[in-house]
Chains A and B, each alone.
Chain A
Amino acid sequence: EPEVTQTPSHQVTQMGQEVILRCVPISNHLYFYWYRQILGQKVEFLVSFYNNEISEKSEIFDDQFSVERPDGSNFTLKIRSTKLEDSAMYFCASSAGGGVVNTEAFFGQGTRLTVV
């Protein structure tokens, strides 16, 4: 069964450093998403991406964040200057898009980011 894969599974970074989280969505999907889950809290939407541009973003997704689809397979989330409060689990997801019905978003297993 196709799946969304995320790397790395864990990342530790120093405050102020840039970090890039990587995701490989399901190959024929058209919509890509990033979500964040701070420890002990709910999963929150960050951003969605379609046709090589951001289609929607939340208040959390400020100028420190950016997303990119650098090639035909990867989808990345970059945090420019990490803060302690960026420590969280980050989930990537993808969905088919287009005229597809009765289908859901598929989530990766997450990247746990720890900022020290």
Chain B
Amino acid sequence: AQSVTQLDSQVPVFEEAPVELRCNYSSSVSVYLFWYVQYPNQGLQLLLKYLSGSTLVESINGFEAEFNKSQTSFHLRKPSVHISDTAEYFCAVSEPGGYQKVTFGTGTKLQVIP
């Protein structure tokens, strides 16, 4: 069985400061890894994903995450946050293949302070 651990339930950070949201996973097989963002009272938006290839993946709004197999991690980073980044971020894992049951972490609330 797969699991995802997000140790930080809340991360406050000042605007324009860097941020790292931590994610560790547990799986006995290969994995696909995802970060989803959820704004208040809204649905899930896929922020970025690792399926194969380069271990460093980027989103269009400046976030990046690096798949580290030896540390079983997929931490999310942004060098300079904006107020609009305030949201909850969920790390998630699935197994490669057509069947895509996704296991989510408990989420990290990013609070950007002006």
Contact = CB atoms under 8 A, between A and B. Distances in A.
Contacts, number: 71
A104 B105 contact: no
Contacts of A102: 51-52, 96
B89 to A, nearest CB: 12
> Size class of B's contact patch?
20 to 34
- Taking each of A56, A91, A97, A105, which has the highest tally of chain B beta carbons within 10 Å of its own beta carbon? A105
Interface residues of A, number: 32
A101 to B, nearest CB: 7
Interface string A98-116: 1111111101111010000
B106 A104 contact: no
B43 A105 contact: no
Contact of B51 (A31, A98, A103, A112): A103
B97 A110 contact: no
B94 interface: yes
Interface in B69-103: 90, 92, 94, 96-103
Contacts of B49: 104
A30 interface: yes
B40 to A, nearest CB: 11
B99 to A, nearest CB: 6
Dominant secondary structure at the B interface: loop
B34 interface: yes
A82 interface: no
A92 B97 CA distance: 19
A31 B90 contact: no
A56 B94 CA distance: 14
A43 B51 contact: no
A55 B101 CA distance: 11
Contact of A43 (B32, B94, B104): B104
B44 interface: yes
B19 to A, nearest CB: 20
B18 to A, nearest CB: 26
B43 A107 contact: yes
Given A102-B96, A107-B44, 10 more contacts: A42-B104, A42-B106, A45-B103, A91-B44, A93-B100, A95-B99, A100-B98, A101-B96, A102-B51, A108-B43
